[in-house]
Structure 1
Amino acid sequence: MFSQFQQLDRAFTVCQDVKGFAAKELMVKLVGRKVLLRGKKETQSEDGKGFFCYKYEVFKWEWDLPEGVDPDGLTCFISSEGQLHIKAPRQALTPTLERNVPIQITLAGGAEAEALLGSEVGADGIAKA
């Protein structure tokens, strides 16, 4: 079994050789940010003389999704060559919402500042009590 992992432009791509396994014998599962691939199959053969041969094959692969990859966009398919492709796109950049940031004014000087805070300011810019 051969596995190939690529990270192109922060996207996630895995190509795993699963020749000899049917799709129903494979399971791809996403747990948190971990991608799990499991394969399991059992074959039975008879030699014609009453002897049976059982073959049981199991494999398990795990990959961590890198930061910046969208786990909700995870997809997989099997090619005609028996290659399982698992892909996830990079996350779209979240646009920054526009907002005004208020400017706070800090007055220096103890009692004088307190007097200005409690008074009205006239048209000439001078505080009135």
Structure 2
Amino acid sequence: MKLDKDKFSVLLDVKHFSPEELNVKVVGDYIEVHAKHEERPDEHGYISREFHRRYMVPKGIDPAALTSALSPEGVLSITAPTKAPQVERSIPISRQEKPAVTGK
């Protein structure tokens, strides 16, 4: 997990899993990664794999901006830009026709 001034990123080696066997979701303030494949033959016999990872979304990161991608080498990257710092701005004042507080 890495947090730079302009980007948040998580990199995971998932070369033993196909994209269909991976699930990335946001639950509350956490990113959850689940990978699983059923038993399959390999050079030593049969193997099954499964893992769960959970990462807290840092402050200043919009969970809705998270994206994920799988590289040809089997590296899953989950990234999001950091929110731009709040810029000072003036708020215009409008005139109301009705009183804000009414007497009883």
Alignment TM-score > 0.5, same fold: yes
Using the alignment, how far apart are the partners of 1:100 and 1:79 within structure 2? 48
Using the alignment, how far apart are the partners of 1:10 and 1:64 within structure 2? 17
Say yes or no: does 1:74 pair with 2:70. Answer: no
Aligned residues: 91
3-state secondary structure, aligned to 2:20: helix
Using the alignment, how far apart are the partners of 1:100 and 1:86 within structure 2? 39
Q: Which runs of 4+ in 1 moved over 6 A?
A: none
Of the three residues 53, 56, 69, the one matched with 2:48 is 56
Using the alignment, how far apart are the partners of 2:18 and 2:92 within structure 1? 57
Shift of 1:10: 5.5
Higher strand share: 2
Identity %: 33
Which protein has greater RCO, CA pairs closer than 8 Å, 6+ apart?
2
Unaligned stretches of 5+ in structure 2?
94-104
Shift of 1:70: 1.4
Q: What is the root-mean-square deviation of aligned Cα atoms in Å?
A: 2.3
TM-score between the two structures when normalised by the length of structure 1:
0.62
TM-score between the two structures when normalised by the length of structure 2:
0.75
